[in-house]
């Protein structure tokens, strides 16, 4: 995990102009809920006059890319100069979806008939039985939807406040232009940038394409700094020590944060090793993803952050990186677990990996096997084995004890659902000494 001192970071898009009466109705979109009759349209205009511009915090339905309306909350607003003097754009969070889908929208995407004014009457939360305002209850529900259960309310509020609006919208990296997912706290001199240009080898980032072109002429790296510890045909893994390659480590963290939500960034990368996966060709080794790992972890974390860059996702590289992290743990003769919280996509990838590895063993194994034995064979922490098998309903309570149920047909069904693994990690091709022994 990588941390940034959020208190020093500023959002660049947060203009928060004071609410004023709407003076420009000429750009009116048709009322989405209106059937076009004059009285209805007049009522719509009157309502619009009283609610526009929308306040930050407003809840309303918004037309998404699927063409359907979904509930959103207004996170920020800014004046849009091509419209009238009081025409605003709104940065919205779709309350049913992950924050990576937050975006700027125009007024005509919003169904103003659905604008909600917050009623502060108390409602009961069915899970906790606590009485709370609708707003508090919704906050808890949203938190659960997004899988942020492990953050307390105060940290979640703080996190959302500082990271509410994406600052960098796109990056250029190698041959790809990539849309970003989340806020990343780049240094203040990048506050006005919405696009950054990265050198794909040293990961230095620049404000302008010409700067990158000049940089590429003199940058002599053709692969990540550090040692190549694995090579299988065109796939390579490099180990980069954050202490020896501080700038690279920090650049990688800035870049990764654009796609990782609940990870804070440490400028202090000394404590981490970075394992960078590359696709290699005659132009060099191009980063496709990475994971970071603390040099020493009291909590037996074998992975802090994992990322596959968006153009390379869904090709099995996430599974490869996860498998690789356990391969390192096996060499260290330790069990490992990923640092929490896991993102939605992180959890899916881990669940898939754990299921495949454990069920493959159960399928082949004859006779009894314990969780401890499974853990020794796979380097997967016992708790993760237990939760995986429990979620697949493979643990049963019989004659006073818990047993693993390994009906071959049931195992096959789960294995099929877990999908295929990524490229194999050939342990014989891993040339690596654990950090402790290196030092
Ligand atoms: N939609 C649905 N399922 C998905 C998606 C998606 N967009 N992406 C991955 N999955 C699931 C699928 O089950 C997939 O298996 P399948 O393709 O066989 O169905 C499985 O995850 C893994 O797929 P891979 O191709 O091996 O993984 P990928 O290379 O896409 O990387 C990763 C997965 C690393 C989680 C990637 O989505 C990513 O970088 N996300 C952004 C950063 C992030 O969330 N990292 C994890 C944070 S938690 C932590 O760092 C400890
Ligand atoms: Zn460079």
Residue carrying the six token digits 């069904």: 413
DSSP code of 206? E
- Binning pLDDT at 50, 70 and 90, where does residue 83 land? low
Element (H, E) at 268: none
pTM (2 d.p.): 0.80
Pocket test for ligand 1, best of 342, 348, 357 (most atoms within 8 A of CB): 348
Of 287, 318, 354, 423, best ligand 1 pocket probe by most atoms within 8 Å of the beta carbon: 318
Ligand 1 nearest atom to the CA of residue 308, by list position: 39
**Which whole-number Å values give the CA distances from 435 to 231, 297, 328, in the listed order?**
19, 12, 10
Atom of ligand 1 minimally distant from the CA of 261: 44
Query: Which residues are annotated as catalytic?
Result: 339
| 173 and 263 Cβ atoms separated by less than 8 Å | no
- Contact between residue 105 and residue 62 where contact means Cβ atoms under 8 Å apart: yes
Q: Is 315 in the pocket of ligand 1 (CB under 6 A)?
A: yes
Ligand 2 midpoint to CA 215 (Å): 6
Tens digits of residue pLDDT in 391-435 = 999 998 788 877 898 889 999 999 999 988 889 999 999 999 998
Residues 6+ apart with CB under 8 A from 422: 315, 316, 317, 318, 319, 320, 323
Ligand nearest the Cα atom of residue 223: 2
Q: Are 328 and 434 in contact (CB under 8 A)?
A: yes
Q: Could you give the CA distance from residue 140 to residue 163 in angstroms, rounded to a whole number?
A: 19
CA–CA separation, 179 and 277 (whole Å)? 21
| pLDDT at residue 318, rounded to an integer | 98
pLDDT in tens, 273-321: 999 999 999 999 999 999 999 999 999 999 999 999 999 999 999 999 9
Q: Which atom of ligand 1 is nearest to the CA of 419?
A: 18
Distance CA 298, CA 211 (A): 43
> From CA 335, how far away is CA 374, in angstroms rounded?
11
Tokens encoding 317: 């590289």
DSSP type of residue 336: B
């Amino acid at each position: 995990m990588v941390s940034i001192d959020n208190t020093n970071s500023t959002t660049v898009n947060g203009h928060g102009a004071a609410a004023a009466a709407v003076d420009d109705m000429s750009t009116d979109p048709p009322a989405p809920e209106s059937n076009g009759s004059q009285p209805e349209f007049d009522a719509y205009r009157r309502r619009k006059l009283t609610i526009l511009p929308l306040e930050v915090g407003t809840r309303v339905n918004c037309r998404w890319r699927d063409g359907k309306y979904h509930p959103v909350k207004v996170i920020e607003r800014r004046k849009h100069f091509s419209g009238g003097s009081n025409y605003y754009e709104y940065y919205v969070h779709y309350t049913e979806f992950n924050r990576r889908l937050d975006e700027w929208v125009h007024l005509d995407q919003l169904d103003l008939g659905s604008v909600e004014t917050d009623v502060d009457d108390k409602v009961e939360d069915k899970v906790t039985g606590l009485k709370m305002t609708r707003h508090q209850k919704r906050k808890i529900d949203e938190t659960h939807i997004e899988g942020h259960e492990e953050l307390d309310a105060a940290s979640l509020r703080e996190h959302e406040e500082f990271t509410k609006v994406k600052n960098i919208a796109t990056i250029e990296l190698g041959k790809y232009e990539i849309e970003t997912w989340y806020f990343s706290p780049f240094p203040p001199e990048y506050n006005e940038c919405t696009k950054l240009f990265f050198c794909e080898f040293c990961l230095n980032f620049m404000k302008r394409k010409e700067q990158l072109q000049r940089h590429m002429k003199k940058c002599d790296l053709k692969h990540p700094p550090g040692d190549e510890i694995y090579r299988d045909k065109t796939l390579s893994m490099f180990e980069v020590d954050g202490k020896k390659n501080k700038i690279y480590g920090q650049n990688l963290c800035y870049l990764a944060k654009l796609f990782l939500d609940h990870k804070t960034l440490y400028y202090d990368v000394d404590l981490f090793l970075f394992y960078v996966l590359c696709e290699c060709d005659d132009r060099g080794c191009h980063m496709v993803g990475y994971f970071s790992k603390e040099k020493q972890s009291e909590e037996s974390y074998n992975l802090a952050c994992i990322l596959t860059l968006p153009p390379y996702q869904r090709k099995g590289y996430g599974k490869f990186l996860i498998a690789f992290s356990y391969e390192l743990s096996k060499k260290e003769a330790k069990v490992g677990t990923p640092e929490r919280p896991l993102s939605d996509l992180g959890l899916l990838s881990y669940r898939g990996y754990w299921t495949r590895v454990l069920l493959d063993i159960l399928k082949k194994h004859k006779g009894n096997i314990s969780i401890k034995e499974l853990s020794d064979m796979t380097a997967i922490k016992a708790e993760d084995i237990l939760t995986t098998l429990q979620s697949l309903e493979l643990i049963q309570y019989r004659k006073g004890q818990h047993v693993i149920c390994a009906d071959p047909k049931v195992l096959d069904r789960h294995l099929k659902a877990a999908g295929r693994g990524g490229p194999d990690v050939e342990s014989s091709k891993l040339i690596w000494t654990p950090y402790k022994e290196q030092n």
